[in-house]
Amino acid sequence: MAEFAGRRIVITGGAGGIGVATARTFLDHGAHVLLLDLDEQRLNEAKAALGGTRVFTAATDLSSLAVRDDLLARAKPVYALVNLAGLFEPDPLDPEDHSVWDRAIAANLTNAYDMAVAFRRYVDTRGPARLVFASSVAFRRGSPGYAAYGAAKGGIVGLTRSLARRFAPDVLVNAVAPGVIVTRMSEQIIAERGDAYRQDIPLQRFGEPGEVASVIRFLCSRDASYITGQTITVDGGLTNA
């Protein structure tokens, strides 16, 4: 039997490159998947690409408590929440304009916190449920052009550690910290500084979405039954070389 047969997985940022790859690997192992994203057109494209009858979508910005509760209530019991939703934009460090900071914290950290709190009410009680957040190597290395984003992703690590203690033993809480992964989100930074980044990566290439998705699947698997409160870096050795 497929490991996730009958299990329900909710993926925020589900129309993104890592979101679609994550959905695919869970579907391959029997899960039912609900993809949440702002972009309805890209959600439709993701569903068409994934095919099958076990893929469901909803277009939402996750900012409404009522919407979050309604979606999770309809999906319950939820075995795993994979929170990939976020915003990546340059930070001009303008002392007269907090808008980039406010958007970064809201989209990357506040939404993660809100989804996690809502998720706990609808978890599948058949063994520990799973919660996986998306951090970033930006929290480890620092990112000079994306200070607000790096700060928000550092907050995700603190949130992961805190909720791992608070939600135990009913929910295992972990995070992944991807490096430069070939997705729509990273197109601009690869175009601007791709060669320099590649030279710093011991594996001499950028990551593929499936290489992050496989780590997420592992964290939700029975093989990760004694892992919680951890942030696993997936960056080809960029931060540890």
**How much is the average pLDDT of 34-51?**
96
Average pLDDT, the chain: 94
Structure-model confidence comparison of residues 134 and 90, the more confident one:
134
Q: What percent of the chain has pLDDT over 70?
A: 99
pLDDT tens across 158-190, in order? 999 999 999 999 999 999 999 999 998 888 888
Strands (E), 92-160: 129-134
Instruction: Give me the pLDDT at residue 106, please.
Output: 95
| pLDDT at site 188 | 83
Residue closest to 194 by CA, chosen among 213, 204, 211, 145: 204
pTM of the full predicted structure? 0.95
Q: What is the mean pLDDT of residues 37-47?
A: 96
How many whole angstroms separate alpha carbon 188 and alpha carbon 126? Answer: 43
H or E element: which one contains 65?
helix 65-75
* Residue 1 in this model has a pLDDT that exceeds 70: no
- Which single residue is written with the structure tokens 């550092």? 154
Cβ(12)–Cβ(36) below 8 Å: yes
Catalytic residue set: 149
Query: Minimum mean pLDDT among 35-44, 77-86, 134-143, 151-160: which range?
Result: 134-143
Tell me how far apart the alpha carbons of residues 172 and 88 are, in angstroms, rounded to a whole number.
27
Distance CA 236, CA 241 (A): 9
Return d(Cα 145, Cα 78) in angstroms, integer: 37
